[in-house]
Amino acid sequence: MSRILIFANGELPDLEKTRKLLKPDDTILCADGGIRHALALGVSPRFVVGDMDSATRDEIQGLNQAGIPIELHPRDKNETDLELALNRALEQKPSSIRIVGALGGRLDQTLGNISLLSDSRLASLDCRLDDGVEEVFFCRGRPQAPSPAFSGRIEGARRDLVSLVPWNGTVTGIRTNGLRWPLNNETLYPDKARGISNEMLETVAEVSIETGLLLVVHRRL
pLDDT above 50 (res 150): no
* CB-based contact 140:123 (threshold 8 Å): yes
Residue 58 — pLDDT band, cuts 50, 70, 90? confident
Mean of the pLDDT values across residues 52-68?
A: 86
Q: Which of 63-72, 153-162, 183-192 has the lowest mean pLDDT?
A: 63-72
Name the band, by pLDDT with cuts 50, 70 and 90, for residue 41.
very high
Report pLDDT for 19. Answer: 95
* Whether the predicted model's global pTM rises above the 0.85 cut: yes
Res. 32: pLDDT tops 80: yes
Is 45 within 8 Å of 28 (Cβ atoms)? yes
**pLDDT above 80 for 123:** yes
Name beta bridge partners: 217: 136, 163
Q: Cα separation of 36 and 9, whole Å?
A: 8
Pick 183 or 57 by higher pLDDT: 183
* Domains of the chain and CATH, by start: 1-132 (3.40.50.10240), 133-221 (2.60.120.320)
> What is the tens place of the pLDDT at every residue in 68-109?
999 888 888 889 999 999 999 999 999 999 999 999 888 999
Q: How far apart are CA 79 and CA 84, in angstroms?
A: 6
Contact (CB, 8 A) for 31 and 7 = yes
Q: From CA 72, how far away is CA 4, in angstroms rounded?
A: 20
